[in-house]
Amino acid sequence: MLDNRAMPGMRGRLSSVTRSLVTTFAIAIGGCATTPNPPPPINVAPQAAIASDQAAGADRGVTGVWEGVSVSNCEGDPSDFGRCHAEQKITLTMFQSDNQVTGFYKCAYGNQVCRHLNKTGLIRNGKFDHTRLMMRVMHEDGSMCFFTGRPADNEFSGGYECLQGGGIIEQGVFQTRRNY
């Protein structure tokens, strides 16, 4: 740094040059000094936010984890009268691509054990036509259950029918809700 005390005529000029440099650097680093514009106020009505959430749910179709219950009925000729009104907790983990649906099925004890102790299954041949979902759940014991219903507003309910060896072994209803 130059000592400008020895040069009396330079003192004022160095100060103005220094001030110019400081100002130039300040503008270069921080930009022009202007008052920042405040962000616009957010005017989203709760109904609009809810509609947005529902639209997001519709965009992903039936993809997600759906939890609920299934309850067998006693209509027709059930193969096991002890399962009349058997209730199970069920989880359907579904993945939708176009109108095709695949995924996983889980069953847990409700007021009775899962039919034939089938706690898991694979969702196959699922089809969703924007109003109705039809799918097949394949179990390890060779049985399969057809689930049919109409998903709407993150709820999915309908009926099911389980087959084994060419005959109906259980029928009932189910109700689930998408958790995520």
In this prediction the pTM is 0.65
What does DSSP say about strands 133-139 and 120-128: parallel, antiparallel, or unpaired? antiparallel
Is 168 in contact with 162 (CB distance < 8 Å)? yes
In order along its 180 residues, the chain shows pLDDT tens digits of: 445 454 455 444 445 544 554 444 444 444 544 445 554 454 444 444 444 444 444 466 899 999 999 999 977 555 667 788 999 999 999 999 999 999 999 999 999 999 889 999 999 999 999 899 999 999 999 999 999 999 988 999 999 999 998 888 899 999 999 998
Report pLDDT for 83: 83
- On whether the 62-178 domain is CATH 1.10.287.130, my answer is no
Report pLDDT for 77: 57
Report pLDDT for 49: 41
